Amino acid sequence: MIQKKDDKQIQHQFHVRQNRQIIAIAIALFLVLLSAVLYKRPLFFGELSKGKLYGMQIAAIAAFLGFTVVNWKCPSCDKSLGSNINKRVCGKCGARLH
């Protein structure tokens, strides 16, 4: 049987991951919005083709999803925490996260 990490350690780990996840969401949103704004202002950024902006959006979303897979896991059982950023209890192992 796997040694259970103590609750404080799990909650601390979860907060670190939660903060990183919020920052990642902010960066991803910023990049997607930025490319959307650039997309509507081709006069100011004529050198950026629409294909490149589209690629930038895809890259931002892909990087975000990749980061989420690595970061957004339960500190106790390493299973994905799903889409709820304010999760209180891990649905997989029942560890208290808050």
Among 18, 57, 68, 76, binds Zn ion (CB under 5 A): 76
- For 94, half-sphere exposure in the C-beta direction (CA atoms, 13 angstrom radius) is 1
Among 77, 82, 86, 89, binds Zn ion (CB under 5 A): 77
Query: Do residues 93 and 75 touch, judged by C-beta distance below 8 A?
Result: no
What is the nearest approach in angstroms of Zn ion to the Cβ of residue 67? 19
Site for Zn ion in 9-38 (CB under 5 A): none
Pick 60 or 95: Cβ nearer Zn ion: 95
Residue 90 touching Zn ion (CB under 5 A)? yes
Alpha helices in 41-90 (DSSP H): 50-71
Residue 22: C-alpha distances to residues 62, 63, 67 (Å): 16, 14, 11
Among 59, 74, 83, 98, binds Zn ion (CB under 5 A): 74
Residue 89: C-alpha distances to residues 14, 64, 76 (Å): 11, 23, 11
Residue 56 touching Zn ion (CB under 5 A)? no
> What residues make contact with Zn ion under the rule CB under 5 A?
74, 76-77, 90, 92-93, 95
